[in-house]
């Protein structure tokens, strides 16, 4: 399985470590939206999106437009969730939004 990581901050690096520890091929790292076309040059099974709220919609739309299954953990964009989820469903791709709740 070939993964891509969109957003290479702390979480992206942690996900990369897990992917490598599990024995999967090195993920494709996208840390700049200009590099998104790299995803179409390789056979990516799943993009894991942990970027920034100002970039997430464009990143998700790119994945949807190019039939790339995507998991997003980026926060701050839930007002657009229904629209993106519907687009992913219409494109018949897998889409998952992670929400992590921290209870103190």
Give the Cα separation of 78 and 72 in Å (integer): 11
Per residue in 32-43, pLDDT (tens digit) is 888 999 999 888
Per residue in 18-37, pLDDT (tens digit) is 999 999 999 999 998 889 99
Average pLDDT, the chain: 92
Instruction: Map out the domains of the chain with their CATH numbers.
Output: 3-97 (3.40.50.720)
Q: List, as one string, the DSSP characters of 51-98.
A: --HHHHHHHHHHHHHTT-EEEE---S-GGGHHHHHHHHHHHT--EEE-
Global pTM reads: 0.89
């Amino acid at each position: 399985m070939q993964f891509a990581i969109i957003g290479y901050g702390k979480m992206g690096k942690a996900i990369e470590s897990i992917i490598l520890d599990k024995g999967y091929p090195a993920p494709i790292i996208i840390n700049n939206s200009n590099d998104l076309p790299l995803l179409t040059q390789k056979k990516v099974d799943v993009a894991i999106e942990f970027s920034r709220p100002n970039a997430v919609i464009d990143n998700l739309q790119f994945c949807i437009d190019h039939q790339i299954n995507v998991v997003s953990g980026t926060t701050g964009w839930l007002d657009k969730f229904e629209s993106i989820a519907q687009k992913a469903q219409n494109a018949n791709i897998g889409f998952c939004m992670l929400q992590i709740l921290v209870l103190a």
